[in-house]
Amino acid sequence: MNEYPSIEKLTAYLNGALTVDESNELKAWFNQSDEGRKELEHLEVIWGLANRLSQMEKIDKQHAKRKIDERTEPAGKSGKIFIQFFQKAAAILIFPIILFSVYLYFGKATEGSTEQEFFAAYGTRSTLVLPDGSKVWLNSGSRLRYGKGFNHDDRKVFLTGEAFFDVTANKSRPFDVVTGTFTVRALGTEFNVFSYEKNEFETSLEEGVTRIYQSCGKGPDKQIISMKPGQRAVFDEKHAKFVLSEGDVSRFSTWREGRLTFKNAPMNEVVMKLERWFNVDIELKDPGLQQYRYTAVFEHETISQAMEMLRFSAPVEYKIIPGEKQPDSALSKTKIEISVR
């Protein structure tokens, strides 16, 4: 199983309608990462809660109310309203509501929390809308968080990974994307940011204006670059400087539409993005492969088909080593070795 399980399969699993082998396969997919394992646990908890809610109409409500009153403090009015709400909701409870509950569970901070966090599991992509109306697409293995004061005190988000932002305009309150080393500031614009590692950073601007700052503990500090549409800025860690280029930058964000685009890209960039896209490990067996450049568009291909396309367009060969079952029933990542033909 390479893709996120369908709603139908998840429903069958949660209802206990899958075979033992099918259930093990689904659990193995989630167990590939700690985030996936926790996600499945949360789904099971929420499903169990939903099943309990569906039985609430069968309960003697007066008896239940007395029990609640006995266990509720005098100031517990909001708790009673909460119970009444769920009694009504139970009568019409359906799977989309459960999915919305999952969204609330992961997307909303718990009481007393100072921040909210979102994560796109490896091999998947997700979208979300921020409190100010700005829309964000998160690429595979990316994490986004923001503080409780977002859209009140500031509009600052913290990104590890890759994301595309469609920012709602607000001249009085800039929008900051803070990464490990740099901060991108915008007022209302569309741009892509790539920063999985601390000194790994690039951004491309499709509409509007952005400025890049050196990140520091208390916010943006020294402005480094001001960008205009059609520009891409890549941080060259070796020479400690930015390389600015112009052209069609839309290809750097086609991933949010389900397409992975390379245009004369160096092999190390191709490998890095394929690893995250397909949730695999790729090893280049020959140092000379680093000199190769690659042009291609992947959309619905499997990892095997992607490797075949690579083999036909470059003098290379590959070997796919399937993941192995671990003691905890999880599967290790599929490994791919690429060498010169």
Q: Which CATH number is 299's domain given?
A: 3.55.50.30
Name the residue range of residue 118's domain: 112-248
What is the DSSP annotation of 239-255? TTEEEEEES-GGGGGGG
Select from 211, 229, 248 the last residue of a domain: 248
Tokens (6 digits) for 177:
């994307």
Q: Report the chain (341 residues): mean pLDDT per 10 consecutive residues.
A: 73 78 82 78 68 47 47 42 41 45 44 72 88 93 91 92 95 92 92 88 95 71 87 91 92 91 89 90 90 87 90 89 82 90 84
Asked whether residue 147 falls in the same domain as residue 218, the answer is yes
Q: What pLDDT, on the 0 to 100 scale, is given for residue 45? A: 66
Residue 331 in any domain: the answer is yes
Asked whether residue 277 falls in the same domain as residue 316, the answer is yes
Asked whether residue 216 falls in the same domain as residue 264, the answer is no
Residue 136 in any domain: the answer is yes
C-alpha to C-alpha distance for 272 and 270, rounded to whole angstroms: 6
Domain count for the chain: 2
Q: For position 128, which CATH number holds?
A: 2.60.120.1440
Asked whether residue 213 falls in the same domain as residue 298, the answer is no
Residue 92 in any domain: the answer is no
**What is the CA angle 9-10-11, rounded to 5?**
90
Q: What pLDDT, on the 0 to 100 scale, is given for residue 2? A: 63
**What is the CA angle 131-133-137, rounded to 5?**
95
List of residues 6+ apart from 286 with CB closer than 8 A? 339, 340
Q: What pLDDT, on the 0 to 100 scale, is given for residue 48? A: 63
Asked whether residue 196 falls in the same domain as residue 310, the answer is no
Please count the residues of the chain: 341
Q: What secondary structure letter does DSSP report for 331?
A: B
Residue 336 in any domain: the answer is yes
Q: What pLDDT, on the 0 to 100 scale, is given for residue 65? A: 46
Select from 204, 227, 248 the last residue of a domain: 248
Asked whether residue 230 falls in the same domain as residue 295, the answer is no
Asked whether residue 169 falls in the same domain as residue 219, the answer is yes
Q: What secondary structure letter does DSSP report for 271?
A: H
Asked whether residue 244 falls in the same domain as residue 263, the answer is no
Asked whether residue 243 falls in the same domain as residue 265, the answer is no
| CA-wise closest residue to 164 among 201, 197, 121, 135 | 135
Residue 326 in any domain: the answer is yes
Residue 86 in any domain: the answer is no
Q: What pLDDT, on the 0 to 100 scale, is given for residue 35? A: 76
Select from 201, 221, 248 the last residue of a domain: 248
Asked whether residue 196 falls in the same domain as residue 270, the answer is no
Give me the half-sphere count of Cα atoms (radius 13 Å) on the Cβ side of residue 213. Answer: 17
Residue 243 in any domain: the answer is yes
Asked whether residue 267 falls in the same domain as residue 244, the answer is no
Q: What pLDDT, on the 0 to 100 scale, is given for residue 221? A: 63
Asked whether residue 301 falls in the same domain as residue 270, the answer is yes
Residue 287 in any domain: the answer is yes
